[in-house]
Structure 1
Amino acid sequence: MSAPTMTKKRPVWKEATFQIFSGGSAGFIEVCIMHPLDLIKTRLQIQSGVNRNDPKYYTGVFDAFRKMYKHEGITSYWKGIVPPILVETPKRALKFFSFEQYKKLFMFGSPVATPITFTLAGAGAGITEAILVNPFEVVKVALQANKKTGKEVPSTWNMTRQIINRDGFGGKGLNKGLTATIGRNGVFNTIYFSFYHSVKGFYPPFSDPRLEFLRKLGIGFVSGTLASLANIPFDVAKSRIQGPQPIVGSIKYFGTFQAITLVYKEEGFFALYKGTIPKIMRLGPGGAIMLLLYEYVYEYLDKTFPENNSKELGSI
């Protein structure tokens, strides 16, 4: 997002309020719509070849949807949704607000932001975001990996207490897999923001609102898709580290590059891209949805609560 162009600077607290509301709204809607695909992605990533004879072993996206519906019911598609919903408001506010702050830093006094500026700002925003969301990711993956049904499924709070009581808050507990999350979010946001803003700058906006909507939707979709393809190995490593270990009582996956190397050696190169289809199905359109929802909600707030002497909203 590029900050609004104003003759009178909007106060930081007001800007932050707009970002929290806009980002929170966009994040909540995106999670509710796309969460089933995130769940399927996680299930595919944490299963290994040793459990192929399990009747609940998934051979693909649609097989996973079918078997989950059969064995766990339709509500199972939204297992683990509470942690991401709880974190979306501060996460999205931090994501866009920190991107703007990093962008100012990496402009180095220049009046024009370059693709390098967007790349560095995206990386900074991704790392900052990862540190905030990792504990929620640990709880979410634990809930998503649970294949029990009905009252046997632990609540978000009970799962959080289980993790803390068993492993604490550190690298074996709520902050397990932090470096993998940093790698995943850092790579994603670097490509997501740099591609979107750089490409959008090359193509002038359309005067027709419908064409302009399609222009932004298309660029956002490609941004989310490319970013998803680039960070999948880190995502697989994160899921293996944060998910249940193959052998109870032993830790097989404990480091980002250790997990990536081990998966490659034991299961082959393509295992590093497990969950690619549901991930792209989610983050391709999901990335576009996020950018558009954020922009339109932000524009609505900007028009409803204008700053004195402010000009029109700049590009987002």
Structure 2
Amino acid sequence: MPDLDSGAQISFSQAFLCSAFAACLAELCTVPLDTAKVRLQLQKKAAFGDGTGIPKYRGLLGTIKTIAREEGLSALWKGTIPGLHRQFLYGGLRIGLYDPVKTFLVGSAFVEEIPLYQMILAAMLTGALAIMVANPTDLVKVRLQSEGQLSMGVPRRYSGAMDAYFTIMRQEGFGALWTGLGPNIARNAIINAAELASYDQVKRTVLTIPGFTDNVFTHLLASLGAGLFAVFFGSPLDVVKSRMMGDSTFKNTLDCFLKTLFNEGFLAFYKGFFPNFARVGLWNVVMFLTLEQAKKSFRGPL
């Protein structure tokens, strides 16, 4: 039984609203973890703290404490507004389109279980399409989250989300809002495939175990599995995306990838892995549990 196929019983507009609402709620719950993840990803060996070689940010909790101590608790929620912009557009599209695209790929007359490779392809397509629309919101979110990296006394570049959009357009050009689009498309196609297809597959597998039913506990297990797969496959691209969006000195995606690889080693692509999993795991739990309940409310009693 494909788990998200139940969304086919509601219209696309309803599926979009359910997905956007669930994604925005999950975003609100995980912004501090995402801020910590971005700071860890942007941290480079040559730019540690006071030049003593000791990193300024160390671990998830250490990074959160450092940000709160130096910049105040509110700094942990920097990027919330563009984050919500992003989740409304990106979350609504990538999840809302997933079932229609699966149906398109296999044909409306298909009645068997959808093969895993078709689910992966559908999720990759919707992830890529959605981020092409939502990339400016992702860029502004990362820029605002990286403001704390600036040295003491250096004026902040943006006063808020809307100011960031207009400042980037004015100073760097309209096309600059799509900075990092290449790695972002690759990242979100892969993560969306790992997330949605694995959620489908894990839920389908769990439901074959005697005693398990389509309930909240099953959704919890499937969402944690989806989060783990998404972080494992998406972390390298996530690091490149964050660095390109937070640092305009890189020429292109390949330049960012090679400089990170040769200067810091392969493990640099998994910087912030545990805070990323903590964030993505929690994000997936909140999002999928909310999504399942929201869709049920539209479908009504079965």
Q: What is the TM-score normalised by the length of structure 2?
A: 0.88
CA RMSD of aligned residues (A): 2.5
Q: Secondary structure at the match of 1:179?
A: helix
8 Å contact kept, 2:41–2:272:
yes
Uncovered stretches (5+) of structure 1, i.e. residues with no partner: 246-250, 307-311
Equivalent in 226, 233, 258 of residue 223 of structure 1? 226
Choose 174-183 or 18-27, whichever is displaced more: 18-27
Q: Secondary structure at the match of 2:50?
A: coil
**What's the counterpart of residue 177 of structure 1?**
180
**What's the counterpart of residue 78 of structure 1?**
77
2:137, 2:116 → 1: CA distance? 31
**What's the counterpart of residue 248 of structure 1?**
none
Quick check: which one's helix share is greater?
2
Assess, with a 3 A threshold, how the Cα gap between structure 1 residues 4 and 99 changes in structure 2: closer, same or farther. closer
Equivalent in 228, 241, 245 of residue 244 of structure 2? 241
1:298 aligns to 2:301 (yes or no): no
**What's the counterpart of residue 171 of structure 2?**
166
**What's the counterpart of residue 309 of structure 1?**
none
1:258 aligns to 2:258 (yes or no): no
**What's the counterpart of residue 2 of structure 1?**
5
1:226, 1:5 → 2: CA distance? 25
1:63, 1:89 → 2: CA distance? 30
1:199, 1:210 → 2: CA distance? 13
Choose 33-42 or 52-61, whichever is displaced more: 52-61
**What's the counterpart of residue 197 of structure 2?**
194
1:90, 1:19 → 2: CA distance? 13
Assess, with a 3 A threshold, how the Cα gap between structure 1 residues 4 and 79 changes in structure 2: closer, same or farther. closer
1:205, 1:39 → 2: CA distance? 38
Equivalent in 276, 279, 283 of residue 279 of structure 1? 276
2:45, 2:33 → 1: CA distance? 21
1:262, 1:219 → 2: CA distance? 36
**What's the counterpart of residue 140 of structure 1?**
141
**What's the counterpart of residue 25 of structure 1?**
21
CA drift of 1:255 comes to 2.4
2:202, 2:64 → 1: CA distance? 35
Fraction of identical pairs, as percent:
24
Uncovered stretches (5+) of structure 2, i.e. residues with no partner: none
What is the total number of aligned residue pairs between the two structures? 289
2:195, 2:76 → 1: CA distance? 26
1:281, 1:258 → 2: CA distance? 29
8 Å contact kept, 1:177–1:254:
no
Q: Which amino acid aligns with 2:98?
A: F
**What's the counterpart of residue 120 of structure 2?**
119
Q: Secondary structure at the match of 2:286?
A: helix
Q: What is the TM-score normalised by the length of structure 1?
A: 0.84
Equivalent in 212, 216, 219 of residue 213 of structure 1? 216
Assess, with a 3 A threshold, how the Cα gap between structure 1 residues 5 and 86 changes in structure 2: closer, same or farther. closer
1:194, 1:240 → 2: CA distance? 27
CA drift of 1:35 comes to 0.7
1:92 aligns to 2:91 (yes or no): yes
Q: Secondary structure at the match of 1:57?
A: coil
CA drift of 1:44 comes to 0.9
8 Å contact kept, 2:102–2:118:
yes
8 Å contact kept, 1:102–1:120:
no
CA drift of 1:88 comes to 2.1
2:41, 2:7 → 1: CA distance? 41
**What's the counterpart of residue 58 of structure 2?**
59
2:120, 2:16 → 1: CA distance? 23
2:295, 2:77 → 1: CA distance? 28
1:273, 1:280 → 2: CA distance? 11
8 Å contact kept, 2:39–2:146:
yes
Q: Secondary structure at the match of 1:2?
A: helix
Choose 177-186 or 84-93, whichever is displaced more: 84-93
Aligned structure 1 segments of 4 or more residues deviating by more than 6 angstroms: 205-211
